[in-house]
């Protein structure tokens, strides 16, 4: 187990609750900020545009009056002096100068509030400025000002300068008020979203707490407990499923381990029982030297059996630990296969079994296998040894080489022997598992041969599979990946 | 020849001493490393058999100390830890060979002899044991002048037993040397092969050369 599984130690990663809350706050703040800035921008541009339009409209009105009735002073006066006075929201000023800059007519007090020099230079004759300029009045108010030229009558080039100003201090107040309200909204939004975030994250994470509590109650004795699939939220359903899957595998491994311990004890008990019994009987009375010799020799055989079991178990243990190292190389399996067949040839002949090597297709004949040659031999040797054990006289064993679907090479050992009952197939690669329990006493092998084959295949990241039909035969296939 | 055994387990030390003494060696034992080192300073040994798992200073430590003191005596170490790293470590430190427990005594004896024999000893091309003649170069064997009709593997098996004449050769060693099955394999196969070899080498003749040593292996004895 690595430390990350211990869970008890304080991790320095942020909790999901905190992450979610912060995400809520940041996104709520972002959205609020964007919308307030936008609203603010809309308001100010809208106001500025309307003010500009107002001034431009006034300029056009004055132009018209100057053009059509240049001498009707009353109309002009009305327009400049009275019309400006009761203007509702903002105060509005107008002034008309002659081309030399002398004031002809102006709104009352305009000379003190907006003297002539603060106005910009007029645009060309006939043009109305597109924007109003911003100025400060002498009494500190904000003014929008506009200057334009106007023709007097239809005549020969006599012009007037029109100066218009709009006091927008009222609007300024409005906007600054609006601004502070927006800030307030932003602040409240942040606080609110933080609160909501904490609440929502807490609620959303409830099932995780529940799952944790359930998991905490699972111990080695309760490996049969499961989280179940139905009552979890969709996202956790998958986790619960994966966790249950892990429990399945754990329970299976645990059971196998228990079974393994029992089998191991049994496996060791048999030879040790023989040893104790034989020795005890031998020592119970005086015997001739030959008898003692017989006992010692028999003991030696039992010791070899024990040693063989230990050897095999050590091999398996090493294969499962990180200690195991294999030296893979790419080679033509033919030579190795033929060597192993040669090793078993004599025994097969004595048993009346033929062992043949069959290449499935021309393509497979050139197939190279990527494996550790020694382990390759050992796996094949164990399979042939097994096949020989369960094949009757006159039977045959066929070793085949085929391309795997993944580009690797499959080596198969098929016999036409007694076969394996379906209920045993899933476990024949387990340690000490023997399909035929009635024959388990006084059996020839250690019951570890196939377990070793499986280990070897795991070391190669390959797999071993078996197909069998009782009475017809068994085929074990080793898939070596590319 | 004098051999020192450094082994803390008294039973193991006792049977090793007994077995080696009966095979003509003079054997001293020590149950811990420093005592062993002291003996090595005092006497000259042809070989040291060193257990790795010792109380106090372990075998590795003793081994490096031996080499540091400039003692060139061959060392054969015994270990219960059968990992490649362990073997490499021992050989790196200057051991000459190693054996993994549990081992057969015959195997130990063979290794001891090999280590002691190591050096410029030339194998003869022709072996003669009683009326058996083996030509290792031409791959031919004959008894009483009659050529034996052997398969290549049968010849290898016979040659192996003949080269180790007088020693018991274990089934595992036979499987390894003759067929290259250098792993724990089905040793019944070796029995079958030996049975077949006997049919050709021993059955037609009165004197039986190939002996079975029950529980251990096979040997050819010349007496």
Residues of A with CB under 8 A from a CB of B: 297-301, 303-304, 307-308, 310-312, 314-315, 318, 323, 325, 339-340, 342-344, 346-347, 350, 374, 377-378, 381-382, 385, 444-445
If asked whether residues A210 and A274 sit together in one domain, one would say no
Query: Which domain CATH number covers B142?
Result: 1.10.10.10
Q: What is the pLDDT of residue A71?
A: 72
B136 & B85 share domain: no
Mark whether A277 and A404 lie in a shared domain: no
Task: Output the CA torsion A204→A205→A208→A209 (10° steps).
Answer: -130
Question: In this structure, are B89 and B147 located in the same domain?
Answer: no
Lowest-confidence segment of A9-13, A108-112, B1-5 by average pLDDT: A9-13
Q: Can you say whether the dihedral through the CA atoms of A64, A68, A70, A72 is positive or negative?
A: negative
- Structure confidence at residue A354 (pLDDT): 92
B52 and B14 in a common domain: yes
Residue A222 lies in a domain: no
Structure tokens at A418: 């007694």
Give the pair of three-digit tokens for residue A476: 């074990």
User: CA A272 → CA A93, A268, A303, distances in Å?
Assistant: 121, 6, 9
Angstrom distance (rounded) from CA B78 to CA B54: 11
State the DSSP string of A38-75. HHHHHHHHHHHHHHHHHHHHHHHHHHHHHHH-TT-HHH
Contacts of A193 (CB under 8 A, 6+ apart): A24, A25, A27, A28, A29
Domain containing residue B43: 2-117
Last residue of a domain, one of B117, B151, B176: B117
Tell me the pLDDT tens digit for each residue of A245-297: 888 888 888 887 888 888 888 878 878 888 998 899 899 889 999 999 999 98
Residue A438 has pLDDT above 60, yes or no: no
Calculate mean pLDDT across residues A368-373: 87
Average pLDDT over residues B184-211: 88
For A244, counting Cβ atoms within 10 Å of its Cβ (0-12 exposed, 13-18 middle, 19+ buried), the class is middle
Q: Rounded to a whole number, what is the distance in Å from the CA of B191 to chain A's nearest CA?
A: 9
Phi, psi of B3 (to 5 degrees): -125, 140
* Rounded Cα distance, A296 and A290, in Å: 10
pLDDT given for residue A444 in this prediction: 57
pLDDT band at A8 (very low <50, low <70, confident <90, very high): very low
Residues A367 and A466 in one domain: yes
Q: DSSP state, A141? A: -
Q: Are residues A423 and A348 in the same domain?
A: yes
Mean pLDDT for A38-66 is 86
Kindly state whether residue A309 falls inside one of the protein's structural domains: yes
| Surface-to-core class of residue A306, CB atoms within 10 Å of its CB (0-12 exposed, 13-18 middle, 19+ buried) | middle
A104 has pLDDT over 70: yes
Q: Which of B65, B90, B117 is the last residue of a domain?
A: B117
pLDDT at B142 over 90: yes
Cα separations in angstroms, A224 against A218, A243, A254:
9, 12, 11
- With cut-offs at 50, 70 and 90, classify the pLDDT of residue A160: confident
Answer yes or no: do A307 and A340 share one domain.
no
What confidence score (pLDDT) does residue A247 get? 87
- Quote the strand ranges of A299-444, DSSP E: 329-331, 354-359, 369-371, 396-403, 409-415
Express each pLDDT in A389-412 by its tens digit. 888 889 999 998 888 777 788 899
Same domain, A175 and A291: no
Tokens found for residue A368: 């190279």
| Tokens, residue A328 | 């893979």
List chain B residues with CB under 8 Å of A351: none
C-beta of residue A161 within 8 angstroms of C-beta of residue A99: yes
SS3 call for B205: coil
> Do the chains contact at A381 and B183, CB–CB below 8 Å?
yes
Q: What is the mean pLDDT of residues A27-33?
A: 89
pLDDT at A417: 86
Residue B24: give its domain's CATH number. 3.40.50.2300
A222 compared with A473, residue with greater pLDDT: A473
Measure A337 CA to nearest chain B CA, in Å: 12
pLDDT at A219 over 60: yes
What six digits make up the tokens of A191? 């606080």
Do A190 and A108 share a domain, yes or no?
yes
Provide the shortest C-alpha distance from residue A215 to chain B (in Å): 38
Task: Note whether B157 and B131 are within 8 A (CB).
Answer: no
Among candidate residues A296, A417, A399, the one with its CA nearest the CA of residue A355: A399
Q: B138 and B41: one domain? A: no
CA angle in degrees (0–180, nearest 5) for A440-A343-B88: 90
Average pLDDT on A63-80 reads 76
- Place B4 in a pLDDT band, splitting at 50, 70 and 90: very high
Return the higher-pLDDT residue of A353 and A169. A353
Q: Are residues B167 and B111 in the same domain?
A: no
Which pLDDT does position A399 carry in this prediction?
92
Residue B134 shares a structural domain with residue B93: no
Counted domains in chain B: 2
Who wins on pLDDT, A256 or A12? Answer: A256
Domain count for chain A, please give it.
3
| Burial (Cβ within 10 Å: 0-12, 13-18, ≥19) of residue A125 | exposed
Same domain for A183 and A95 = yes
pLDDT band at A7 (very low <50, low <70, confident <90, very high): very low
- Parallel, antiparallel, or unpaired for β A142-151 and A133-136? antiparallel
Out of A172, A187, A215, a domain closes at A215
- Angstrom distance (rounded) from CA A340 to CA A348: 12
Reported as a single tens digit per residue, the pLDDT across A320-345 is 776 667 888 888 888 889 989 989 98
d(CA A106, CA A123): 20
Least confident window among A277-286, B72-81, B194-203: B72-81
> Do B92 and B196 share a domain, yes or no?
no
Query: Which domain-ending residue is among A320, A343, A377?
Result: A320
Mark which of B83, B117, B151 sits at the end of a domain: B117
Q: What confidence tier does A57 reach under pLDDT thresholds 50, 70, 90?
A: confident
Mean pLDDT of A292-318: 86
Q: How many CB atoms lie within 10 A of CB A341?
A: 18
Task: Please compute the mean of the pLDDT values over residues B187-208 and round it to a whole number.
Answer: 90
ipTM at complex level: 0.72
Which of the four pLDDT bands, split at 50, 70 and 90, describes residue A441? Answer: very low
Residues A24-37, mean pLDDT to the nearest whole number: 89
Nearest 10 degrees: Cα torsion B82, B86, B91, B95? -70
Mean confidence (pLDDT) of chain B:
86
- Out of A298, A320, A342, pick the residue that ends a domain: A320
A307 and A383 housed in the same domain: no
Shared-domain flag, residues B84 and B154: no
**Residues A92 and A167: beta-carbon distance below 8 Å:** yes
Which residues 6+ apart lie within 8 Å of A402 measured at CB?
A360, A361, A364, A409, A410, A412
Strand positions, DSSP E, A152-291: 159-167
CATH number at residue A257: 1.10.287
* Mean pLDDT of the residues in chain A: 82
Mean pLDDT of A305-333: 81
A220 within domain boundaries: no
pLDDT at B188 over 90: no
Same structural domain for residues A312 and A348?
Answer: no
* Total residue count of chain A as it appears in this document: 482
Q: SS3 for B74?
A: coil
Contact status, residue A237 vs residue A227, Cβ threshold 8 Å:
no
Name the percent of chain A in helix, strand, coil, to the closest 5.
55, 15, 30
Q: Is residue A228 part of a domain?
A: no
CATH number at residue A172: 3.30.450.20
For residues B88 and A150, the model is more confident at A150
pLDDT tens sequence across A175-216: 889 889 888 988 898 888 888 888 988 888 888 888 888 888
DSSP state of A395: -
A-chain residues near B177 (CB < 8 A): none
Same domain, A272 and A401: no
The reply to whether B132 and B199 lie within a common domain is yes
Cβ-Cβ contacts under 8 Å, A382 against chain B: 185-186
pLDDT one-digit tens code per residue, B146-162: 999 999 899 999 999 99
Say yes or no: B163 and B208 in one domain: yes
Average pLDDT over residues A95-123: 81
Residue A472 has pLDDT above 70, yes or no: yes
Q: Which residues of A touch B216 (CB under 8 A)?
A: 300
Query: Is residue B199 scored above 90 in pLDDT?
Result: yes
Give yes or no: residues A309 and A262 share one domain. Answer: yes
Using CA atoms, how far apart are residues A462 and A410, in angstroms rounded to an integer? 10
Q: What is the pLDDT of residue B59?
A: 85
Token digits of residue A101: 């800059």
Sheet holding B126-129, edge to edge: B126-129, B132-135, B140-143, B146-147
Q: Per the structure block, which two tokens stand in for B157?
A: 């098996």
The residue segments making up the domain with residue A173 are: 13-215
Helix (H, G, I), strand (E, B) or coil at B174: helix
Give the pLDDT band of residue A439 (cuts 50, 70, 90).
very low
pLDDT at A87: 52
A174's tokens: 């409005």
Adjacency order of strands within the sheet including A91-98: A103-106, A91-98, A159-167, A142-151, A133-136
> Percentage of residues in chain B with pLDDT exceeding 90?
31
Q: Which two tokens stand for residue A452?
A: 């070793």
Least confident piece of the model among A19-33, A86-100, A260-274: A86-100
Question: What does the block give as tokens for B83?
Answer: 């990992």
Mean per-residue pLDDT, B210-221: 89
Q: Is residue A227 part of a domain?
A: no
Is A226 a domain residue?
A: no
Across the interface, of B182, B189, B214, the residue whose CB is closest to A297 is B214
pLDDT above 60 (res A36) = yes
Residue B26 has pLDDT above 80, yes or no: yes
- pLDDT of B201 reads 92
Which range, A135-144, A221-230, A469-478, is most confident? A469-478
Is A2 among the domain residues? no
pLDDT, mean of residues B18-22: 91
Chain B contact residues (CB < 8 Å to A): 82-85, 102, 153, 175, 179-186, 188-189, 192-193, 196, 214-216
Tokens of A188: 């409240």
């Amino acid at each position: 187990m690595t430390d990350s599984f211990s869970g008890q130690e304080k991790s320095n990663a942020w909790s999901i609750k905190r992450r979610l809350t912060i995400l809520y706050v940041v996104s709520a703040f972002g959205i609020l900020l964007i919308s307030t800035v936008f609203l603010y921008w809309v308001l100010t541009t809208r106001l500025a545009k309307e003010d500009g339009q107002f001034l431009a409209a006034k300029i056009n009105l004055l132009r018209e009056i100057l053009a059509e009735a240049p001498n009707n002073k009353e109309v002009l006066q009305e327009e400049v002096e009275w019309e400006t006075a009761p203007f509702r929201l903002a105060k509005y000023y107008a002034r008309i100068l002659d081309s030399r800059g002398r004031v002809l007519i102006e709104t009352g007090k305009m000379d003190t509030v907006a003297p002539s020099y603060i106005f910009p230079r007029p645009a060309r004759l006939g043009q109305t400025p597109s924007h109003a300029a911003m100025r400060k009045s002498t009494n500190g108010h904000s003014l929008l000002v506009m200057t334009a030229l106007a023709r007097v009558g239809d005549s020969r080039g006599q012009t007037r300068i029109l100066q218009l100003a709009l006091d927008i201090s009222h609007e300024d107040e409005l906007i600054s008020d609006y601004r502070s309200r927006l800030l307030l909204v932003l602040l409240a939004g942040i606080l609110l979203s933080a609160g909501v975030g904490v609440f929502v994250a807490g609620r959303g994470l409830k099932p995780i707490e529940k799952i944790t509590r359930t998991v905490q109650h699972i111990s080695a004795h309760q490996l049969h407990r499961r989280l179940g699939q139905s009552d979890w939220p969709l996202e956790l359903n998958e986790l619960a499923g994966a966790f249950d899957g892990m429990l399945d595998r754990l329970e299976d491994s645990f059971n196998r381990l228990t079974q393994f311990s029992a089998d191991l004890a049994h496996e060791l008990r048999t030879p040790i029982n023989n040893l104790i019994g034989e020795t005890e009987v031998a020592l119970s009375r005086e015997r001739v030297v030959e008898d003692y010799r017989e006992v010692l020799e028999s003991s030696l055989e039992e010791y070899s059996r024990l040693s063989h079991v230990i050897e095999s178990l050590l091999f398996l243990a090493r294969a499962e630990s990180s200690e195991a190292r294999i030296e893979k190389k790419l080679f033509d399996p033919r030579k190795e296969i033929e060597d192993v067949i040669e090793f078993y040839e004599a025994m097969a002949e004595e048993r009346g079994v033929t062992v043949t090597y069959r290449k499935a297709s021309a393509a497979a004949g050139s197939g190279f296998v990527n494996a550790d040659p020694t382990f390759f031999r050992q796996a094949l040797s164990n399979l042939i040894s097994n096949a020989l054990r369960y094949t009757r006289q006159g039977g045959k064993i066929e070793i085949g080489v085929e391309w795997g679907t993944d580009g690797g090479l499959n080596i198969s050992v098929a016999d036409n022997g007694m076969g394996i009952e379906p209920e045993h197939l899933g476990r024949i690669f387990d340690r000490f598992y023997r399909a035929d329990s009635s024959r388990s006493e006084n059996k020839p092998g250690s019951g570890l041969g196939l377990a070793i084959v499986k280990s070897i295949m795991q070391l190669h990241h390959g797999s071993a599979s078996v197909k069998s039909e009782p009475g017809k035969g068994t085929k074990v296939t080793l898939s070596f990946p590319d | 020849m004098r051999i020192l055994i450094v082994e803390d387990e008294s039973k193991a030390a006792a049977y090793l001493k007994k077995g080696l003494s009966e095979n003509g060696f003079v054997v001293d034992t020590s149950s811990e490393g420093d005592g062993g080192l002291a003996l090595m300073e005092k006497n000259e040994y042809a070989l040291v058999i060193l257990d790795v798992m010792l109380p106090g200073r372990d075998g590795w430590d003793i081994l490096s100390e031996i080499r540091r003191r400039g003692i060139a005596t061959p060392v054969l170490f015994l270990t219960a830890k059968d990992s490649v790293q362990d073997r490499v470590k021992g050989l790196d430190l200057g051991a000459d060979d190693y054996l993994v427990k549990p081992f057969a005594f015959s195997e130990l004896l063979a290794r001891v002899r090999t280590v002691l024999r190591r050096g410029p000893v030339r194998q003869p091309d022709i072996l003669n044991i009683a009326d058996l003649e083996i030509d290792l170069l031409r791959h031919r064997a004959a008894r009483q002048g009659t050529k034996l009709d052997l398969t290549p593997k049968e010849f290898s098996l016979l040659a192996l037993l003949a080269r180790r004449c007088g020693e018991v050769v274990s089934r595992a060693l036979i499987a390894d040397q003759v067929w290259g099955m250098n792993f724990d394999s089905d040793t019944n196969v070796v029995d079958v092969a030996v049975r077949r070899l006997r049919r050709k080498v021993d059955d037609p003749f009165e004197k039986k050369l190939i002996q079975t040593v029950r529980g251990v292996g096979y040997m050819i004895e010349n007496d």
